[in-house]
Amino acid sequence: MLISGLQKLTLLDYPEKLAATIFTPGCNFRCPFCHNASLVLQPGNAPMISEEEVLMFLDSRKGRLDGVCITGGEPLMQKDVGGFIKKVKEMGYLVKLDTNGSFFDRLKALVDDKLVDYIAMDIKNSPGKYVLTSAATPDMMEQVNKSVSFLLEGRVDYEFRTTVVSEFHEEEDFREIGRWIEGAKSYVLQNYEDSEDVIQCGLSSAGRDRLLKFADIVRPYVCSVHIRGI
């Protein structure tokens, strides 16, 4: 599996776990607010880390770390992600996967094979604004819808999450999102923060009051709503 980054310790990426985070290059979406623009737009230029180096590090941290987060880019673009995760699981680690949900068959296969313990799936926006927000094609949206429905079955621990950007999200979007993911176990609103490695500079956060309002809009539809970043 192609690996372009390793964060050796995170207290935030895996809820209630000490974890390491592995970054994979490449993504089929083009979200303007993506914080890993270099991995998305120029994946071939990213410095690579060998599987062996990462696995050696994880082996040396057994008993000190609880889990491993695999993020990107979009990790499910990596055809051999399952083989890599199997090696990580054999070390005794919990595995969290971050995904945009556009590779349903690979997502389902990982769950069927019990290779992931937690999935964080991005909900980019209300369905009607996915093209604006991520450049998703109709075929991609079909996959995203399948992934949403699959996670709602509750076969694996999961959360849906939306990075909230003032220029892209309005109150009505969250009413539509609520109806879309109705019955979800957990939904997280993440406050956008500008950085030097976003695809489109100059975007802004929604602000605390608007985030709280958006959370209130979604709350009747899902079991638990959280806000991160305020």
Domain that holds residue 98: 5-228
C-alpha to C-alpha distances, 202 to 18, 32, 111, nearest whole angstrom:
33, 10, 38
Q: What is the pLDDT of residues 83-121, one digit of tens each?
A: 999 999 999 999 999 999 999 999 999 999 999 999 999
Query: pLDDT at position 39, please?
Result: 82
Dig out the tokens for 42 from the structure: 């120029």
Is the separation of the CB atoms in 115 and 86 below 8 Å? yes
Dig out the tokens for 168 from the structure: 């892209």
**CA–CA distance, 230 with 93 (Å, rounded to integer):** 30
Dig out the tokens for 177 from the structure: 């999102």
Q: Three-class SS string for 137-195?
A: CHHHHHHHHHHHHHHHCCCCEEEEEEEEECCCCCHHHHHHHHHHCCCCCCEEEEECCCC
Q: What is the pLDDT of residues 51-69, one digit of tens each?
A: 999 999 999 999 999 999 9
Query: pLDDT at position 100, please?
Result: 98
Query: pLDDT at position 40, please?
Result: 85
% of residues, the chain, pLDDT over 70:
100
**CA–CA distance, 122 with 148 (Å, rounded to integer):** 10
Query: pLDDT at position 50, please?
Result: 95
Whether residue 197 has pLDDT greater than 90? no
Bridge partner list, 10: 19
Query: pLDDT at position 35, please?
Result: 84
Q: What is the pLDDT of residues 125-164, one digit of tens each?
A: 999 999 999 999 999 999 999 999 999 999 999 999 999 9
C-alpha to C-alpha distances, 11 to 71, 94, 164, 227, nearest whole angstrom:
15, 14, 22, 16
The SS3 call for residue 6 is: strand
Whether residue 46 has pLDDT greater than 80? no
Query: pLDDT at position 194, please?
Result: 85
Query: pLDDT at position 1, please?
Result: 92
The domain total for the chain is 1
Distance between alpha carbon 19 and the CA centroid of its chain, in Å?
Answer: 15
Query: pLDDT at position 195, please?
Result: 82
Query: pLDDT at position 198, please?
Result: 85
CATH number of the domain to which 38 belongs = 3.20.20.70
Q: Where are the alpha helices (DSSP H) in the chain?
A: 37-41, 51-60, 81-90, 104-112, 130-134, 138-152, 171-180, 208-218
Query: pLDDT at position 41, please?
Result: 81
HSE of 153, CA atoms in CB hemisphere, 13 A: 10
Whether residue 219 has pLDDT greater than 90? yes
